[in-house]
Chains A and B, each alone.
Chain A
Amino acid sequence: MSEINEATQRQEASGDTGVKAGVQKTEGAKRLRQLDMARSQFATRVRQRWAALPRWVRVATLLAFIAVLYGLPNLNIPFIRTESIAFSSVLFTCAVYVLVAVGLNVVIGLAGLLDLGYIGFFAVGAYSVAVFGSPQSEIATEYPWLALIPIAIALSMVSGVILGMPTLRLRGDYLAIVTLGFGEIVRLIAVNSSITNGQQGISQVPRPPGEIDGERIFGVVSARPYYWLALTVVLICMLGVRQLENSRVGRAWLAIREDEDAAELMGVPAFRFKLWAFAIGAALGGLSGALFASRQGYINSNSFDLLLSILFVAAVVLGGSGNMLGVTLGAILIAYLPEKLRDFSEDLPEYRFLAFGLALVVIMIFRPQGLIPSRRRAVELKDRQEEVTVGG
């Protein structure tokens, strides 16, 4: 604190000659920067202390934390619990959103490709389970749920590759619009095609197998087993993505994101790795869609609004693209807040897109790196700021 005070005093002393309004403005900005510095120093200290702990302590803490996550539906934490909607079902939504964010983070955060149509892959995954599994559907199969999930993943991956092939050669902002178009095409097909049954939708989507004492584990009423399932899937996927991130593939993605031409010159086949990022992202999106459909038991074309796609992007960007912890936080905020707000008033969720839009603008202007940024990304942004544009 004393550092900050000193700095502001120095500011005041040196600012005397300037125009008053201007001085006030820069002073405010300086103070903000000081606070930010203090915050980042604090974060660094925490990180160092964490790294200095013995390995067994770290592992034990992590395991305890995971145990708490699994226990969440049974713990009665007063303020966090939602009253108007079953808490475990909110938790399930959060877990699905986190899975989406982890997948989208591969595309946006790691490879630097802005995908605005991610909902398309989510929908492909959800519809694969519904269309092949539900006895109502025209092309129903007898495959069990466990076989449908790999099919859903494969189909969304294929759709990712089909979309990626022609478009990944384009500049970033074109890609954004084309993916947006793709998301809308998928939705329109869902609305118009007879297989997906449009607004009427498909019910009797198969549920995960398993019985205890003659009762299904994954029933209609309780969302708890679904939450545990989704949490397990999320943890496995996070582990997998983390491994990828630290591998040759992850380094290639970072190189492409930072400078595609330079990466290509250094021998990174940019197109192939971008396609991989797209396919892996699509697979995770499809998987989350499949989980979503299995829990709902019923899907129709309204579940795949394009605004949801924008929300997914908002989750990644808000949290801090490129950082797994950041995007997880972003996803939880986006899934949890509207449900929590319902406790206070039924009308509030109506404003959620408005609020997220505002948050998106404000955060991008004041903190383009997100709430919990990836360290590398923050440095990149700082670098660019120093290359000042003429007249800009």
Chain B
Amino acid sequence: MNVELLTSQFWDLTVTGLALGAIYALVALGYTLVYGLLQLINFAHSEVFMVGTYAALIAWGWAGLTQESPIPGLLGMIGYLVIGLIAAAVASGGTALIVERVAYRPLRRRNVPRLVFLITAIGVSVVISELVGVLTDRHRAGIPRLVERSTVISIGDFEITNVQLGVIVAAIAMMVGLDLFINRTRLGRGIRAVAQDPDTAALMGVNQDRVVMLTFLLGGLLAGGAALLYDISLENTRYNVGFLLGIKAFTAAVLGGIGNLRGALLGGLLLGVVEQYGSALWGNEWRDVVAFVVLVVILMFRPTGLLGESLGKARV
């Protein structure tokens, strides 16, 4: 145990953890939305995210941004960010819709046991990641640097770079957007209604299939956003990045209370930070173990998560 490292770099670790946790939280929202609606773990969601990381990279390539090109100016940077965001969101949202259509809808019609859903979801996620793996020769793809790192806020030991700040702010903005959408719009009301009681919602004229599609689309869009932020902050991707990140995002969702949107934010940020502290204490190679241990411990002592699970049942 290296307590000294933890105390000496406390703020640094916290900020890094928060920036990473914001990405976890965005992906966690996808799990939480689907779980709140259908009580299913959408195992393929991690690959929806992975597709987004590649989509942004490919779109940048088309737009002329490569590994060799210099870091673009402010206007160029904003342009590339918009292009990347659109590409990632479209690709991830589209993948999520396809997954729903191919893997879940035929099963939902037949009321099969829940484990069957999980197995098809695993199948789909293996298919997507292997497909990308085969197409990319299983190489790690470098992502061109879009933003030059610089410290924007510095108070004593506390320093935060522009990328970290941007990631955290963007993630929170997307989450606030989702929260407003679910709570304030007509479509959002449909989602909440189906989550509360699918049968009654159907009797009241809510089109269940459309609500399910919308939910998968929302999850996919957020995963696309997360993919863009991931690309910018980690600057590389690989066909199997989804797996670990997916499990961590799921852990984050469970930590906050699965089915609870605000819980996903809390869980994501908390997990990101705890992971960083853990890696300082026991060494970086144990970082992933910390996340899994957190998952097991929460499920042991508080299976409903910190804020309790619910999408429609109580407060969102």
Same complex for A and B? Answer: yes
Interface on A for B, CB 8 Å cutoff?
A: 112, 114, 116, 166-167, 170, 172-174, 176-178, 180-182, 184-185, 188-189, 191-192, 306-307, 310, 313-314, 317, 350-351, 353-354, 356-361, 364-365, 368, 381, 384-385, 387-392
Say whether B122 contacts A360, CB under 8 Å: yes
Say whether A354 contacts B109, CB under 8 Å: no
Asked whether B119 is an interface residue with its Cβ less than 8 Å from the other chain, the reply is yes
Asked whether B170 is an interface residue with its Cβ less than 8 Å from the other chain, the reply is no
Say whether B122 contacts A170, CB under 8 Å: no
27 A–B contacts from the bound complex (CB under 8 Å) = A167-B300, A176-B41, A177-B41, A177-B254, A178-B299, A181-B292, A182-B292, A182-B296, A184-B244, A185-B293, A188-B286, A313-B122, A350-B134, A354-B126, A354-B130, A357-B125, A357-B126, A359-B123, A360-B120, A360-B123, A364-B120, A365-B103, A365-B106, A385-B112, A389-B108, A389-B198, A390-B199
Say whether B115 contacts A188, CB under 8 Å: no
Partner of B303, one of A114, A170, A307, A390: A170
Partner of B114, one of A172, A364, A389, A392: A172
Say whether A360 contacts B299, CB under 8 Å: no
A231 to B270, CA, bound (A): 50
Say whether A381 contacts B285, CB under 8 Å: no
Say whether A381 contacts B130, CB under 8 Å: no
- List the 3 closest A-B pairs by CB distance, nearest first: A360-B123, A391-B202, A357-B126
Given the complex, which residues of B lie within 8 Å of A176, measured CB to CB? Answer: 41, 115, 118
A4 to B288, CA, bound (A): 57
Partner of A173, one of B40, B107, B289: B40
Partner of A356, one of B107, B126, B202: B126
User: Known contacts A361-B120, A361-B124, A365-B106: does B289 contact A189 (CB below 8 Å)?
Assistant: yes
Quick one: which of B105-158 are within 8 Å of A by CB?
106-116, 118-120, 122-127, 130-131, 134
Given the complex, which residues of B lie within 8 Å of A166, measured CB to CB? Answer: 296, 299-300
Known A384-B113, A387-B111, A388-B111; further 16 A-B contacts with Cβ < 8 A: A167-B296, A176-B41, A177-B247, A177-B254, A178-B299, A184-B292, A188-B288, A313-B122, A354-B134, A356-B126, A357-B125, A359-B123, A360-B119, A364-B119, A384-B111, A392-B208
User: Known contacts A191-B285, A310-B126, A354-B134: does B198 contact A391 (CB below 8 Å)?
Assistant: yes
> Smallest Cβ distance from B130 to chain A, in angstroms?
4
A177 to B, closest residue via Cβ: B250
> Smallest Cβ distance from A210 to chain B, in angstroms?
40
Say whether B120 contacts A365, CB under 8 Å: yes
Given the complex, which residues of B lie within 8 Å of A365, measured CB to CB? Answer: 103, 106-107, 120
Partner of A192, one of B113, B285, B295: B285
Partner of B112, one of A177, A313, A368, A391: A368
Given the complex, which residues of B lie within 8 Å of A314, measured CB to CB? Answer: 123
Say whether B120 contacts A174, CB under 8 Å: no
A173 to B113, CA, bound (A): 11
A392 to B, closest residue via Cβ: B108
Asked whether B243 is an interface residue with its Cβ less than 8 Å from the other chain, the reply is yes
Given the complex, which residues of B lie within 8 Å of A356, measured CB to CB? Answer: 123, 126
Asked whether B75 is an interface residue with its Cβ less than 8 Å from the other chain, the reply is no
A-B interface pairs (CB < 8 A), number: 142
Say whether A358 contacts B111, CB under 8 Å: no
Say whether A357 contacts B130, CB under 8 Å: yes
Quick one: which of B181-226 are within 8 Å of A by CB?
198-199, 201-203, 208-209
A66 to B105, CA, bound (A): 44
> Smallest Cβ distance from B177 to chain A, in angstroms?
28
User: Known contacts A354-B126, A361-B124, A368-B116: does B296 contact A188 (CB below 8 Å)?
Assistant: no
> Smallest Cβ distance from B168 to chain A, in angstroms?
26
Asked whether B102 is an interface residue with its Cβ less than 8 Å from the other chain, the reply is yes
Say whether B103 contacts A361, CB under 8 Å: yes
Given the complex, which residues of A lie within 8 Å of B116, measured CB to CB? Answer: 364, 368
> Smallest Cβ distance from B297 to chain A, in angstroms?
8
Given the complex, which residues of A lie within 8 Å of B118, measured CB to CB? Answer: 114, 173, 176
A176 to B41, CA, bound (A): 10
Say whether B115 contacts A173, CB under 8 Å: yes
Given the complex, which residues of A lie within 8 Å of B110, measured CB to CB? Answer: 368, 384-385
A335 to B174, CA, bound (A): 45
> Smallest Cβ distance from B6 to chain A, in angstroms?
19
Given the complex, which residues of A lie within 8 Å of B107, measured CB to CB? Answer: 364-365, 368
Given the complex, which residues of B lie within 8 Å of A387, measured CB to CB? Answer: 111
A72 to B293, CA, bound (A): 46
A121 to B247, CA, bound (A): 20
Say whether A361 contacts B123, CB under 8 Å: yes
> Smallest Cβ distance from B246 to chain A, in angstroms?
10
A203 to B219, CA, bound (A): 47
| B26-47 interface bits toward A, Cβ cutoff 8 Å, 1 = contact, 0 = none | 0000000000000011000000
Given the complex, which residues of A lie within 8 Å of B303, measured CB to CB? Answer: 170, 174
Greatest chain A CB density within 10 A among B203, B254, B289 is at B289
Partner of B123, one of A170, A350, A357, A392: A357
Partner of B115, one of A172, A353, A389: A172
User: Known contacts A310-B122, A360-B119, A365-B120: does B295 contact A390 (CB below 8 Å)?
Assistant: no
Say whether A184 contacts B288, CB under 8 Å: yes
> Smallest Cβ distance from B295 to chain A, in angstroms?
5
A310 to B115, CA, bound (A): 14
A176 to B130, CA, bound (A): 21
Given the complex, which residues of B lie within 8 Å of A114, measured CB to CB? Answer: 115, 118-119
A189 to B, closest residue via Cβ: B289
Partner of B299, one of A174, A313, A357: A174
Given the complex, which residues of B lie within 8 Å of A359, measured CB to CB? Answer: 123
A392 to B243, CA, bound (A): 30
A384 to B112, CA, bound (A): 7
A171 to B, closest residue via Cβ: B303
Say whether B112 contacts A381, CB under 8 Å: yes
Partner of A392, one of B109, B124, B254: B109
Say whether B111 contacts A389, CB under 8 Å: yes
Greatest chain B CB density within 10 A among A170, A361, A385, A389 is at A361
Say whether A351 contacts B134, CB under 8 Å: yes
